[in-house]
Each structure stands twice: as structure tokens, then as C-alpha cells.
Chains A and B, each alone.
Chain A
Amino acid sequence: MIWESWGAFWAMGGRGFFVWGSYGALLVAVIAELFVLRGARKRAIDSVQSDSVQ
């Protein structure tokens, strides 16, 4: 391992805020997109099903 410890890994040479702030934003964006994708699919299916009943 190139890091002396996990502490050194998370510290990122004192730049942890910038590195993890970037990766954290990506993680949040991906999770948010997955939720939106699932929600949109569910709404589309629900609306077709309610149309079929009428």
C-alpha cells in the first residue's frame, strides 16, 4: 500500500476536503440519479396501468 495508514489515506496530504468533496458530490449525484430513474419508471408504469383499468 502506498499510504502509511488509513488516516493518511483519508487526509489526502491535507487536501481531504477537496478530494472527498469531489468524490462525495459524484456519489450523491449518482445516487440521486438512480432514485429519479426508478421514480420515473414507476410513475410511467402506474399511469399505463391506471389507463388500462378505465
Chain B
Amino acid sequence: MARTEQQSNDRFQGRWFWRYASPAAFYPVAGRIEKLAWLIAILLAIVGLYIGFFRAPTDAQQGEVYRVIYIHVPAAWMAMVIYLAMAFWSATGLVLGTRLSFMMSHALAPTGAIMAVIALWTGALWGRPTWGTYWVWDARLTSTLILFFLYVGYMALAASFDDKRKGDRASALIALVGAVNVPIIYFSVNWWNTLHQGSSVRPGSSSMATIMLTAMMIMTFAFWAYCVAAAMHRLRTQIIERESRAQWVKELVK
């Protein structure tokens, strides 16, 4: 008996994955991740903003308005990263049939949409004094706007089914098909002539001053931690909703 159990466990290299694919098992883990992520987000935001506003110098070309970069770039990156994470968990849910994967994907979507809005909003306010316009229909801006609409479409479709499992599958398809847009956003500044500047940060080489880059990267990790915390909170709420008939949930909220 013990032997066969051992063998069946060994068949899966990542058997921890299967254990934590159970909503009941992952619920407390998500809570611990959430607490840690809030802490990291707050600490990094304080350090990042301090360096960004009180240590980094005025930009030689743009003056002070460049300081929008410390939230604009992290928000834009997170909007893309979250979409890819959503597509990953949607694919995992479709292939393995794990309920928690779909919940993870749903938990990420609203925060991803907010990141896209922040990227667009801060970009508009930065564009006005530097380009002379709040908005232009160029490749980088338009594809980011499409990213926002993909988030909205994903959430609307997931919510439109009475049968949650059908909503899971239908919305997962939007997540997967829409993922094509992410490399389009990323490479748009290289592929098309655009008003938006090229990448300041590339693997192995960056054109930014070290102290500005440091502040921006710290803010990026702060945003990352914030997104993890928000998604974990939403995931736990979904587990409560979807497992509401399970005894452990009833005990939990009693």
C-alpha cells in the first residue's frame, strides 16, 4: 500500500504542484504569500520613491517631468507580465483541468487592467509636455490600449456565463489568443516608426543613468509585489466563493 502510493507520487516530478493545485491546500499558502508581498511592496516603494525623488538628479533633456518614469515603466511592464501570467494559468487550466489555475487567471485580470490604465494615463500626462500631445495613434500606444480592452473582454466573458466552468474555458481562449499582443507591444518601438522612445532598458545594456535605473527597477519590484498581493487576495476571495459548499470554508468564515 505504502509502496504503491510512493510509486504513484514519484510519477509526478512536481508532486508539490498537484498538492497545491487543491484550493483548500493553497488557501493558507496564498495568505502567507499575500502578507509577505504587501510588506515587500511597501518597503520597496518607500526606497524606490526616495531614490527617485530625492537622490536621482534632474534629467538633462526633460527636466523634472521624467520622474513619471518611476511608475510609468513599471505599470507598463506589469500590464504585459500579468497578461502573460494570465495566459500561462489559462493554458495550465485548459491542459490539466485544474480549477485553481483558472481562479489564478481570474484573480490577475483586474490588477492587470489597472496596470494598463496607469501606463496609459501616466503616458498621456508625460506625453503632453514632451511630445506636445496627450495621445497619438501610434503602434506602442494603440497596442497598449488593445491590451486594456483584452483585459476587459476577458473579465466580461468570464462573468457572462452562469456555468463557471464554461466561463473559465471561454475566457481562457481570450487570454491565450490575446497573448500575441504582448510581443507586439514590446517590439512595437523597433518594428514601427513611433513617437514613443525606444527601450531604455535591454538585457545587457541600458542607456539610463545608474541611479535612475536603480530607482526604476526598485519601483518595478514594488509594483510586482503589489500585483502578487492583490492577486493572492482576490484568489482567496474566489476560493471562498467557489468552494462555498465545502465544510472547511464554512468552518473558516464561521
Contacts and interface: CB of A to CB of B under 8 A. Distances in A.
Interface of A: 1-3, 9, 12-15, 17-19, 21-23, 25-26, 29-30, 33, 36-37, 40-41, 44-45, 47-49, 51-52
Contacts of B244: 44, 47-48, 51
Contacts of A12: 64-65, 67
A22 B234 contact: no
A33 B114 contact: yes
B73 to A, nearest CB: 12
B254 to A, nearest CB: 7
B140 interface: no
Interface residues of B, number: 39
Given A25-B121, A33-B111, A41-B237, A19 B230 contact: no
B24 interface: no
- State the main secondary structure of chain B at its contact with A: helix
5 contacts: A3-B54, A30-B226, A41-B233, A47-B241, A49-B254
Contact of A33 (B110, B128, B245, B254): B110
A35 B236 CA distance: 16
Given A13-B58, A18-B68, A47-B241, 18 more contacts: A12-B65, A13-B63, A15-B63, A18-B126, A22-B71, A22-B125, A25-B118, A26-B118, A29-B117, A36-B110, A37-B230, A37-B234, A37-B237, A40-B234, A41-B233, A41-B237, A44-B240, A48-B253
Contacts of A40: 234, 237
Contacts of A15: 63-65, 129
Interface string B49-89: 00001110110000111011001100100000000000000
B122 interface: yes
A29 B110 CA distance: 11
Contacts of A25: 118, 121-122, 125
Contact of B118 (A1, A29, A47, A49): A29
5 shortest interchain CB distances as A-B pairs? A13-B64, A15-B65, A22-B122, A12-B64, A44-B240
Contacts of B226: 30
A3 B54 CA distance: 8
